[in-house]
Amino acid sequence: IGEDSALFELAKQKISSWVYFTGILGVVLFALNVLWIDPSTGFGTAFVNAVSELSDSHEVILLILIIIFATVHSGMASLRDAGEKLIGERAYRVLFAGISLPSAVSTIVYFINHRYDGIQLWQVQSVSGIHELVWVSSFISFFLLYPSTFNLLEVAAVDKPKMHLWETGIMRITRHPQMVGQVIWCLAHTLWIGNSVAVAASVGLIAHHLFGVWNGDRRLVSRHGQAFEVLRSRTSIIPFAAILDGRQKLPRDYYKEFIRLPYLTITFLTLGAYFAHPLMQSSSFELHW
């Protein structure tokens, strides 16, 4: 029933598709910078300033930014079927990204800039082993957070976007890896930062992803019907639950489902994101959001 996730067959790849992908990515990043990020030309600064006027509390402002992003992101996802019928799959994906990305960037930058501005609730950064625990947890979370890398060409609308029924790889462990990954990331970073801003961010992000679990299953039922019900019966939301109760049978060579280019890509991106932390922080500080 389910599809083989993270399958990447080099023989089926077209050079032209990846050229288009690179071009589209460049155009999107350029437009995002000009129309939103750059204070001299974009609307991002005005947007964040407007939200910041709603409260003197960084926690409240961050939660408002998360709510705005969550409303846009989940709202656009919920309208996907109707939107694709109206303007087509590719056009709707472009519209979805064009609306979601600015609010996501604003929320991330605001969190980076104000992550240490809250009330300190605990301080464990000097405790032996905590840094390693947070690092390993964050690394694991990225493997769960980004199943969209299963098909980057669909993400960029080079290939026609589809609503897939993935079942192999990480999906055998949990049917909602993004939610699990977000929970792990939030718990790890809240432990490390230990203040009220981190708690507020975690509450907002986890709530958004828990809603996404319900909304995602609802949309899959609507799109795939009985096929999804079969997949749901042998997968689980809680990690390893379906495996432990016997509904999901792992093949003997299960590890091979992870030895694939998309997971290798996630590995390099995760390591790159870790080493790029100083760059991300300095870039965020320059925006004064």
252-263 pLDDT, tens digit per residue, is 999 998 888 888
Judge whether 196 and 121 are in contact, CB under 8 Å: yes
Q: What is the pLDDT of residue 12?
A: 84
pLDDT value at 148 more than 60: no
Chain length of the chain: 289
Measured distance CA(153)–CA(159) in Å, rounded: 5
Burial class (CB in 10 A: 0-12, 13-18, 19+), 214: exposed
> pLDDT (tens digit, 9 = 90+) per residue, 18-35?
999 999 999 999 999 999
Task: Tell me the whole-structure pTM to 2 decimals.
Answer: 0.91
> pLDDT (tens digit, 9 = 90+) per residue, 36-67?
999 999 999 999 999 999 999 999 999 999 99
pLDDT value at 111 more than 70: yes
In this prediction, residue 150 has a pLDDT band, given cuts at 50, 70 and 90, of low
Query: What is the longest distance spanned by two Cα atoms in the chain?
Result: 58
Q: What is the pLDDT of residue 263?
A: 85
SS3 166: strand
Tokens of 8: 């990447």
Q: What is the pLDDT of residue 149?
A: 57
How many contiguous H segments (helices) and E segments (strands) does the chain have?
Answer: 13, 0
Judge whether 54 and 61 are in contact, CB under 8 Å: yes
Measured distance CA(247)–CA(172) in Å, rounded: 10
Arithmetic mean of pLDDT, 141-154: 76
Measured distance CA(188)–CA(180) in Å, rounded: 12
SS3 55: coil
Measured distance CA(13)–CA(168) in Å, rounded: 21
Tokens of 89: 């799959």
Nearest 5°: the CA angle 100, 223, 239 is: 75
Judge whether 107 and 52 are in contact, CB under 8 Å: no
Arithmetic mean of pLDDT, 213-229: 93
